[in-house]
Each structure stands twice: as structure tokens, then as C-alpha cells.
Amino acid sequence: MMTFRNPLSHKHLSGYMRVRSRRGNWLAVVLLRVSRRDLFFCLTALLVFCLGSVFYQFSGGAPKVLLDVGFYLGRFAGGHGPLAPRALPFPSQVVYNRVGKCGSRTLVLLLRMLVDRHGFTLISSDIHNKTRLTKREQENLIRNISTTPQPFLYTRHVHFLNFSRFRTDEPVHINIIRDPINRFLSNYFFRRFGDWRGEENHVVRTPGMKDDERYLDINTCILESYPECSNPRLFYIIPYFCGQHPQCREPGLWALETAKQNVLDHYLLVGVLEELEDVLLLLERLLPHFFSDVLNIYKSPEYRKLGNMTGTVHKQTPDLEALQVLYERMEYEYKFYNFVKAQFHLTKRKIGLRSGPKPSRPYSSVLQRKDLQEELEEEETEDSLEWTDQT
């Protein structure tokens, strides 16, 4: 049998409505009062924030009063320590751990022409033969770099330095590499005969080198496995990106993968010398406070007059058999080179930059064909005729 509840009486219903109406009116009044006060507070806070942001952009850092407030708030929350150093609103610390015979003299020469124009500090180390450092040497070098007046660009032939390992602010890292065989040949003949500057001034490169080593045929060096033409001496580019760990100097997968990861994690740009003009254009886009107008300078007659003198002299092309042996010995170097080139092309696509003509063909593509000895000799002749500072 169904049962029905008696409806609320009129007296109970009217009382319930009065209570609900009273609560609603009280809530509306409270919300109205709070909203007016909060609206004024929010608008004031927004105005202060906007003015502070403008001031930050124009002065290169936050106002001292805001830093002091942040400092005392940090102390109140339990944090202690000095105020953070004043930071510039653009990347103001750049490290270029330049790889030997990969266009580094070209870029340093351009940077010297840009220093006065853009007002940054350029530190180009004269230390060329100490790329591996002890932990204490790393710590001292990183401290010296970090205390340089900003903005600065520091450059040296040194394997990758991990600033975060020493609890130091990470700078922007940049670099350039080239086809590994091209780099090896440039270094091989530069050690023996130098460049056009030394040629004109009759300067003997590597005075202590004996004649039998200086005039050692490149094919003999490769095919008879002289130390200079074998591993680990050929394992050269990867350690510049792998770092200071002893295993970074051992040809193998660990060093290769570590170098790749460091490129992804720490480097703003790693370019390839075969596309140097695109590298310069990307540096202009990514670091304009340092590299603005660098491409125009590179193409100027003033630079060409100086750049012509940095080309390696007396270069020769090895036989195809020797090139093939080199290519096999440089397996990991070419894997890294191809990885960097792919990343570089990806960056170009993201920026919207179309690839320009390539001034020289990497040996990795040449060695995929068998009938190219004549083409190699032709290419060598062209290289000797045209001005180049890519060595």
C-alpha cells in the first residue's frame, strides 16, 4: 500500500523562505563589499607589476626594492643567502668551445670586428693544446668565466665544460663542426705547412718537426696506420661535446651518445662549416646582441682581404682507397656529424631559413660512389683556386 507524506504546513514554509531570503541578502552584501575592495587591490597590483616589468626591461634587471623584498621574503620562508647578481634581459654569457680546424679562426676574426660595434667583452684564450682539464682546473676556469663582466663571449679550444656540475649558472653554448675527413686533412697539412700568412712571411710551421715526418705522404700515413692517421687520434670532434670524463676520449657508443645528449641539452646552436653563411645567419637571429650584421661583414671586402690569409696551404687529396679507410676508422665521428647536421637543418626549418648552395661536398657523400678519383682531384683544384677561410 502506498503512503504519502503530509506537505509542509504554510507556517513552516513561510519560515523557511524568510531564513533563505535573509541568508541570500547577507551573502550578496558580503560579496559586493569584498569584490569592490579586491577589484581595487587587483588593479593596483597589476599596475605595479606592469611598471616593474617595464623598468626591468629598460634597466637590465629588477628594481633593488623588489630584490630586497624577495630577499626578505626568502629569509622569512627559511632561505638564506646573498642577493642574486643583476641579470641582463638577453643571453649575456656565451661560451664557444671551438673545435680545431672547423672555421674557428674565421668566427673569432668576425667577433673581433663586432666587439666595438655591439659593446660586449670578447675573451679569446691563447691556450690551444690543453683541451682536457682536471676537476680543479675546470672549477677555476668556470669561476673565471662566470666573473667576467657581462655581456661576454668566451672562446677556447677546450672540451665541453658542465657549468651546472659546479653549481654555476649555465651560459649559452655554441659551436661549429665540419666533415670529419675534411677536418683531419686540414689539420694534417696545417701542422706541416701552416696557412697563407706563414707562407708569405716564410714562417716554418712546427719548427721541431723532422723532415721525414713533415713530408710524410698522406696515403702512406693512412694505409700503414701511422698513429697520426689512426684512432684514438682520429677520434677528435666528439670529445669536444662529450666533456671532460676520461671515457669521452675513448672511441665508442658511450661517448657518442653523451655528446649527442649534451648538444640537445646545452647548446643553442651547433652549425656545420659546409653551410657557414647559414650558420652566421642563424647566429644573427638567435644572438643578435653579439652577431647582428655578421653576415654582411663576412661578405665585405674588408673581411675577405683578411680571411684569404687563413687557408691551409699545400693540401692534397688522398687516394680513394685511403679515404675509404679513413671513413671506416671515423665511424663514430660521422655518426655524430650526421646527427649535428640533421639538428642544424631542423633549426633552420624552425627559423624559416632555406638552405643555400653548399661550397664543398662532404667526403661522406663522395665515398658512396666508386668512380670519383677524378672528381676528387677536380674539387681539390677548385678549392685551391677560390679564396677560402674554412680551413
Which residues are known catalytic residues?
157
H or E element: which one contains 201?
none
Whose CA is closest to 298, among 312, 283, 286? 283
Separation in Å, CA 361 to CA 179, 180, 182: 9, 12, 10
Q: How far apart are CA 335 and CA 260, in angstroms?
A: 10
DSSP letters, 273-301, are GGGHHHHHHHHHHH-HHHHTTHHHHHHSH
Residue 311: all three cell numbers together: 687557408
216 CB-near residues (< 8 Å, 6+ apart): 226
Give the CA angle between residues 345, 361, 199 to the nearest 5°: 115
Side chain identity, residue 265:
D
Residue 185 burial (CB < 10 Å; 0-12/13-18/19+)?
buried
